[in-house]
Structure 1
Amino acid sequence: MTLTVKCPQCQKPVTWDASSAFKPFCSERCKLIDLGDWASEKHAIPVKDDISEELLDQLGYEEADFFKTAD
């Protein structure tokens, strides 16, 4: 059974198999356009800060603590 998906950039059908060199994209052009969108931050993965700076201060953590090397 051959799986067919839509190219995320142009929506053309793409066969999902070993012969599809740029899957899930239909071409190198679409792949590079998508890469450029990520590089220019048109796409982003949302991040929620679970720990606020205030909480870290209350717990006694200093920014320099995060860059210490193990001796």
Structure 2
Amino acid sequence: MSTLQVKCPTCKRPVLWSPEQEFKPFCSERCKLIDLGEWAMEEKVIPGEPLNLTEDEDTFFQ
């Protein structure tokens, strides 16, 4: 059985999908952290309608 190969979402390098690949689907910790930073800075978002939170719910998440 052949090992699945995917592209790193950050740099597009090939990544083997195996238990030994610690940062899959990323090729490295660096690419993983770049991706995390993009989500944290809201450069990446999941499309959809924004949540309408009540004041109580809004303060809960702060």
Q: Same fold (TM over 0.5)?
A: yes
1:14 is aligned to 2:15: yes
CA distance in 2, matches of 1:40, 1:33: 11
Structure number with greater Rg is 1
Q: Which runs of 5+ in 1 are unaligned?
A: 54-62, 67-71
CA distance in 2, matches of 1:35, 1:48: 22
Cα displacement (A) at 1:38: 0.1
Determine the structure 1 residue equivalent to 2:31: 30
* Sequence identity (%): 57
CA distance in 2, matches of 1:47, 1:12: 30
Larger relative contact order (Cα-Cα within 8 Å, sequence gap ≥ 6): 2
TM superposition outliers: structure 1 runs of 4+ over 3 Å: none
RMSD: 1.9
